[in-house]
Amino acid sequence: MFENLAVVGATGAVGRIVLEQIHARQLPIKNLKLLASSRSAGTRIKFGDCLKTVELLRPESFDDVDLVIASTPDEVSAEFAPWATARGAVVVDESGFWRMDAKVPLVIPEVNPAAIQQHQGIIASPNCSTTQMVLALAPFHRAARVRRVVVSTYQATSGAGLAGSAELEQMTNAALDKRTDAVPRVFQHDIAFNLIPQIGSEKYEGYTSEEMKMVEETRKILGDATIQVCPTCVRVPVMIGHSESILVETEQPLSLTEARQLLSQADGITVIDELSQSRYPTPVNCVGSDQVLVGRIRKDLSSPNGIAFWCVSDNLRKGAATNAVQIAELLLTQTQVTA
């Protein structure tokens, strides 16, 4: 029975939304513990109508914990997750460290909820750019089997954490004031009024680590290693909300009507698609929403089996915090059913 929950990384941008979601979705837990590094230990954070004090993250922190939701850098997760699992807790982890481990399920609840049954103490939540894309690809894969995906992402600065958002504000203010003293530290170049076609380090034959996450994670979540993915990931001067231009080719052709219907009926997706009325998703539309918003749905002019579309999602919510809390809900539901 999961009664005692710990949130690791509670003071970060995603961690704070995790707390909001736990309260808003009324997860059936009895005790909540907030954990973070020594830099943040002692901080007091509002949870519902009370203030919770953040405790220091250490092995003993998990002695009385059943379930963990964590949003930390990879190296922190690599260290603490074994502490928690050794004490019997199940960890829902948002870092990239465990995602491609063969023993760790990689889960989007609307897509592959049954995968959590295979966990051995750790369940991974996907990368934010992968999550929104795969949520939109899943109905096509179930209906007609996805063969190839070409995707370009336009990713918000908050994907790099609080420091990324702060740097966008700093560099934008400097540009507007015509100052030249501001120096980029989080991103490779000045992000103000600019696009940067690099997210992460070079990983494989000219592709970045962010791009290869989209390749590998998509295959794992959909359970099909033959799906071909060609990604280009771009950082854009938007604070919140990742956008993606996606071209998907399926084994069996889908009509435009079928494609629209599949997306409209899929859990977690809202279709906004009236080009003649200039109605389609933008990052501004998605802020604060747990839905993936899809529009500009059209047939591929170059392939009879292709569908093109545009999607946006709040990268801090469905791309991160909400997906992890939904995984925790699945665990709690399964426990209640089997109890």
Q: Which residues contact 251 (CB under 8 A, 6 or more apart)?
A: 144, 145, 146, 147, 305
Say if CB 282 and CB 294 are below 8 A apart.
no
Structural domain total, the chain? 2
Portion of the chain with pLDDT greater than 70, in percent = 98
Angstrom CA distances, 191 to 14, 205, 206, stand at 22, 25, 22
Do 116 and 150 lie in a common domain?
A: no
Please name which of 249, 227, 233 lies closest in space to residue 308, comparing C-alpha atoms: 249
Q: What interhelical angle do 209-222 and 128-144 show, nearest 10?
A: 40
pLDDT-derived band of residue 255, with 50, 70 and 90 as boundaries? very high
Do 163 and 261 lie in a common domain?
A: yes
Do 203 and 302 lie in a common domain?
A: yes
Do 10 and 142 lie in a common domain?
A: no
pTM over 0.85: yes
- 242 is annotated as an active-site residue: yes
State pLDDT tens for residues 103-128: 999 999 999 999 999 999 999 999 99
In this prediction, residue 338 carries a pLDDT of 47
Task: Indicate the Cα dihedral angle 200, 216, 283, 70, nearest 10°.
Answer: -80
Do 120 and 167 lie in a common domain?
A: no
283: CATH:
3.30.360.10
Which candidate in 119, 233, 242, 286 is catalytic?
A: 242
Do 181 and 62 lie in a common domain?
A: no
Determine the distance from the C-alpha atom of residue 101 to the mean position of all C-alpha atoms in its chain, rounded to a whole number: 18
49: CATH:
3.40.50.720
For residue 275 the two structure tokens come to: 């080009």
Average pLDDT score, the chain: 95
Do 256 and 173 lie in a common domain?
A: yes
Do 138 and 195 lie in a common domain?
A: yes
State pLDDT tens for residues 319-329: 999 999 999 99
Q: Report phi then psi at 98, rounded to 5.
A: -100, -5
Inform me whether the pLDDT recorded for 336 exceeds 80. Answer: no
Residue 277 CB-density burial (10 A; 0-12 exposed, 13-18 middle, 19+ buried): exposed
Do 115 and 205 lie in a common domain?
A: no
Determine the distance from the C-alpha atom of residue 163 to the mean position of all C-alpha atoms in its chain, rounded to a whole number: 18
Do 184 and 300 lie in a common domain?
A: yes
**How many CA atoms, within 13 angstroms, populate the side-chain half-sphere of residue 181?**
2
Please name which of 171, 173, 177 lies closest in space to residue 190, comparing C-alpha atoms: 171
Which string of DSSP letters, residue by residue, matches 257-271?
Answer: HHHHHHHHHSTTEEE
**Polymer length in residues for the chain:** 339
Q: Which residues contact 189 (CB under 8 A, 6 or more apart)?
A: 196
Beta strands 292-299 and 228-235 are unpaired
Which candidate in 119, 128, 141, 286 is catalytic?
A: 128
State pLDDT tens for residues 58-80: 999 999 999 999 999 999 999 99
Do 230 and 93 lie in a common domain?
A: no
Determine the distance from the C-alpha atom of residue 29 to the mean position of all C-alpha atoms in its chain, rounded to a whole number: 24
Please name which of 241, 242, 290, 243 lies closest in space to residue 267, comparing C-alpha atoms: 290
* Domain assignment of residue 58, given as a range: 4-126+320-338
pLDDT-derived band of residue 50, with 50, 70 and 90 as boundaries? confident
Do 144 and 250 lie in a common domain?
A: yes
